[in-house]
């Protein structure tokens, strides 16, 4: 379990652009339906100093950590598992979890899962090296 500087551009479809300004209605279901990538992450909007991101995911992410930022995950549908070095959290729809900064973790989705994430706008989704 270690972070790496590998190129994840083909494995993950990560979009850090802010898709909607404040005041827009965001159709999460339409975004999920339009996605074909197994690990899709789109920044939906900015709320003060944080962003809200949509994940439409299935499969495994890599082990990584964020040295100075916490990550909030909320499961809309499916099943989302967050493995950490000392425990595993298994989340179902309506459940949420904050991965504390500095904690090595690996998210997994054994089935198609939709999640919302709240994190600082400057976070690097693939982790810090």
pLDDT at 58 over 60: yes
Question: For the segment 9-38, what is each residue's pLDDT rounded down to a tens digit?
Answer: 678 999 999 999 999 999 999 999 999 999
Q: Residue 56's domain spans which residues? A: 13-120
Residue 104 contacts residue 63 (beta carbons within 8 Å): yes
Nearest to 52 by CA among 6, 19, 11: 19
pLDDT for 11 equals 87
> Is 6 inside any structural domain?
no
- The residue length of the chain stands at 129
The whole model's pTM is what?
Answer: 0.89
CATH number, position 50: 2.60.120.10
Q: How many CA atoms lie within 13 A of 48 on its CB side?
A: 2
DSSP H helices, the chain, are 28-34
Q: Residue 124's pLDDT is what? A: 80
pLDDT over 70 (residue 102): yes
In a domain, 129, yes or no: no
First to last CA, the chain: 12
């Amino acid at each position: 379990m270690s972070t790496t500087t590998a190129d994840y551009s083909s494995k993950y479809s990560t979009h850090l652009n802010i898709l909607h300004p404040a005041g827009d209605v965001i159709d999460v279901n339409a975004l999920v339906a339009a996605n074909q990538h197994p690990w899709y992450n789109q920044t939906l909007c900015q709320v003060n100093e944080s962003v809200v991101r949509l994940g439409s995911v299935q499969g495994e992410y890599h082990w990584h950590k964020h040295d100075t930022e916490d990550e909030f995950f909320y499961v809309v549908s499916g099943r989302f598992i967050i493995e950490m070095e000392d425990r595993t959290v298994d989340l179902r729809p309506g459940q949420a979890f904050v991965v504390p900064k500095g904690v090595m973790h690996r998210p997994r989705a054994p089935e198609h899962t939709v999640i919302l994430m709240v994190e600082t706008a400057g976070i690097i989704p693939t982790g810090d090296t």
